[in-house]
Amino acid sequence: MNKINKLFSEKKDSKLLSLYFCAGAPTLEGTAEVIKTLERRGISMIEVGIPFSDPMADGPVIQDAATRALKNGMSVQLLFDQLKTIKDDVQIPLVLMGYLNPIMQYGFEAFCRSCVDSGVSGMIIPDLPFKDYLELVKPVADRYDLRVIMLITPETSDERIRFIDAHTDGFIYMVSSAAITGAQKSFDDAKQEYFRRINAMNLRNPRMIGFGISNAQTLKAAQDNAAGAIIGSKFVTLLSESKDADEALDKLYEALAQ
């Protein structure tokens, strides 16, 4: 069974926590160690960002991390090489988050093959058109038993959400707002209504809520309204400051308790 599906089937009553960080930042050689540390510290799933020069959905924190990673020399091939070294050690799902350009330059079938070879369970491609996903990407990904995770936002129509739910597997990434990534202090009434609207749809796929989660209030709102929460910018900031995943996690857990 794909590790993503296994996670959600085995942890149905758990409040999952997934973290995002950018491969190659803050250091080129630290990616594997960050992953191993996050698993050891109880993180449920990890999104590993593929750095790109024009990350349109990302806020300044993740943009800066991507710029640093590219300057450090991170590439798609190097990332796969690093992940292969820990393939047999990591049991939680790894999801690659990257934009279409570097993935297609690598070659999509080659990308899927490398995902399998390096222990990756799925991918998030924010700028992938859904039509291209259905016609070109999904058939190849399915052959390799990889999950392609799609995003929905408060602006996504119910019809579109149901269509995505019917044609994807793994989980649905609920973006808390239509804005770029970045920490928020709270989720306003409009976001809470969005969470309630999606809950009432009784979708087939489990959901994870991301974008803006950085404290106890936003974490609780996400975990109360979905299978769990995804944290990116807050952890990337702390990792950049400390250069140490254990220390960054200590500070993250402290922030999430406030």
Residues designated catalytic: 47, 58
CB of 18 within 8 A of CB of 208? yes
Vertex 220: Cα angle to 215 and 226 (nearest 5): 125
Tell me the β-bridge partners of 17.
229
Q: In 3D, which of 211, 212, 216, 209 has the Cα closest to residue 253?
A: 216
Q: Both tokens of residue 122?
A: 């799925």
Q: Helices 31-40 and 76-84: crossing angle, nearest 10°?
A: 50
CB of 127 within 8 A of CB of 110? no
CB of 199 within 8 A of CB of 231? no
